[in-house]
Every structure is written in C-alpha cells, then in structure tokens.
Amino acid sequence: MRALARLGLFGSIARRPSPALALFCRNMTTGLPPSPIPLFPTVASYRVWRRKAFDEKKSVGFVATMGALHEGHLSLVRRSLAENDLTVMSIFVNPAQFAPHEDLATYPRTLPRDLELLTAISVDTPFGPRSASAVFVPTVSEMYPSGITQSVAEQKGTFVEVKGYGHQMEGRTRPNFFRGVATVVTKLFNVIEPTRTYFGQKDIQQALLLRRLTRDLLLSHPEPQNLFIVPTARDPSTSLALSSRNAYLSPHEREHAAPALYAALQAAQSAWEANASKADCVARAVAVIEETQRKLGDSADIRLDYVDMNDPESFDVLPDGTSRADWEADVGGRPVILSGAIWVGKTRLIDNIVLSRSAAFTKPC
C-alpha cells in the first residue's frame, strides 16, 4: 500500500483510492495491461465516458486501428490531438474483414507496446498540451453479439455493404473485405460518436468508401466533411509505406524488395505527368517490379498483384488509352487514384499515389 501511495495511486484523504488506482485495478481485473489512459472494453463503459464529454461540450477525435501501432497510426493521433479536445483510439482486430485463408490468427497483437507508444504522445496546442484520452478495446463478442465467422455464407446478424464500390481495386483481390470494414466501422462510429475521425491515405479506397458511407447513412458522428484522409507515413530511408504487416518482412525484404512497389508507382506517375496513356503508365510500373525481381534473383520473391488507375468517385478503371490531357478535358480537376499491390514472400503490401493538381483531394468533401 505504501508503495502504491508513493506512485500516486492513493488519494490523500483517508486512503481513498485515486482515479489512477481505480483505473489500474479495473485493468487488472479485466485482463487488460495497466495504462494511464482509460481503457474501455465494453460499449456500456465507454458510453458513460462519452456522455460526460457530450455534457461538457467537448469535441472528440477518433482513430480506428487494429493495433500493432506504427508511426502512421501515431501521425493520425497527433492530427486528432491538435484538432480536438479529446482523442479516442480503438484497437480491435476485426475478424469480418479477413477471409478464411488470410492472416487473422497471425496478425500482430501488441497491446502493451501499443499503449506505451500512445502514452508517450503529447501535442502542444494553444489550449495546453494534449494526450490520448481513452482507448476502446472491445472483445469480438462485444462487437459481434450475434457471433461471427470468417465465412460470409455462414454469417448471421446485421452487416453493412456499400453496394457497387467494393469490388474494384482492393475488392477485386479481397472480395468481402470492404463488407467487413464497413460493418465494423459503422459499429465503431455508433459507439465512439466522434466529432472528427482520421484515416490514412495508404488505405485510400477504404477511406473514400467510409466517407461515402457516412453520407449515405446520414451519420451525424461523424458527418462526411469530418472524415479526414491523412497522407501516408513512409519509412524515411526507403519510402516504404508504413504498415502493421511490414512486421512480417525480413530485413532484406524490407530494405530491397518491398520498396519496389512505391518506386513502380512513382514511375507510373512520371509517365502520367508526361501525358502517357494509362496503359503505358501501368507498363512502366510493371517494368520496375520485374526489374527489381530480376536484380534480386532468388534472394527475395516478388509477385505483382495489380497496378491500376481508378476514378476516385466510382472506382471505375480508366480506359487504357486515357492520358492526363484526355482525363482533365473530360472531368476537369477530378484526380486519379494510382494504386497497386505486390506480394513479397508471404506478405501482401499495398500503396497508392493520388494524381492530382489539387492538394485538396484528401480534404473533406
């Protein structure tokens, strides 16, 4: 008890437990790691906290994650801290967005380290320093009270699907992925009730689809204009897009093979800016992947999944003969999404570049 008191876990009046001790004890009894940030494993416990924020008229920023945090996630948190009174993160590995053959069982789960990283973040604002206010860490049964299986044909209960926008780009390779994403994020928005929410550009199709979802479902928390898309965070030495799945890569793969995707997209970008056709742009990108594979030989396995260029509103593929001049003459200032995916060994990596003359594309609609 004296040791706890020295740590500030007891109040000074009649040994009344301090809020820090109450939080510590609650985390221990729920099996959660100790954390100075309030952890909410249930919807009911979080909603008590959220009602208080509503009563105090405080804005709440939200960053949804599956954990295994990296600088990309933390950049979203910093943006939220700068723009909101309170910031909430969710950490939940969502089974509904994994196909039966995908890596649900092996996806990195690093909650103690995640909380350490989150606790270390503080942002100075005109209103004083801000740090993360709460973390929502639900169980699978809390998020899917009707149960969940990875087989869509066997699922029961309520699911959300954004019709006509989930089969292109990433949806071509992962056909039920966006159904799982739309379902879990709708649930999270219902629980968290964020004033603003932040998603990374690396998952550009996901972010644009969710912005459409907020508009189509007439959501008020957040409203569509308060869903922000933040530029992709990259490794400073290789420009590899930061991703939790990068943990699967060997050091050799991470340094020499994985960066080929972004290099390929940059080659396609240069061709597009020189007014090459879409088919030529894609061919330039494919050539970069093939040349990297040739140079690495048997030391790394690189396989191209796709490289393509899509309309950001419909996600439709651009015709092969379309050039930048053709596109701009047809649709004006609307950008193009240049995206791709490769396999490096057993790890699938994605990336994209927004081809636009306007920096406002990823701002709210």
Please report which helix (H) or strand (E) contains residue 330, including its range. helix 324-331
Give the tokens for residue 28: 């221990």
Residue 266 burial (CB < 10 Å; 0-12/13-18/19+)?
Answer: middle
* Angstrom distance (rounded) from CA 309 to CA 314: 12
- Kindly state the tokens that stand for 21: 């001790």
Q: Exactly one of 73, 101, 167, 256 is catalytic; which is it?
A: 73
Q: Cα dist. 166→172, 180, 296, 315 in Å?
A: 8, 11, 34, 9
Q: At what angle do helices 204-216 and 177-192 cross, to 10 degrees?
A: 60
Residues 6 or more apart whose CB falls under 8 angstroms from that of 328 comprise: none
**Closest listed residue to residue 311, CA positions, set 361, 261, 260:** 361
Instruction: Spell out where 201-268 has E strands.
Output: 227-230
H-helix or E-strand spanning residue 19: helix 19-29
- Greatest CA span in the chain, whole angstroms? 78
Q: Which two tokens stand for residue 149?
A: 């299986």
Q: Is 185 helix (H, G, I), strand (E, B) or coil?
A: helix
Whether 73 is catalytic: yes
Q: Which residues are catalytic?
A: 73
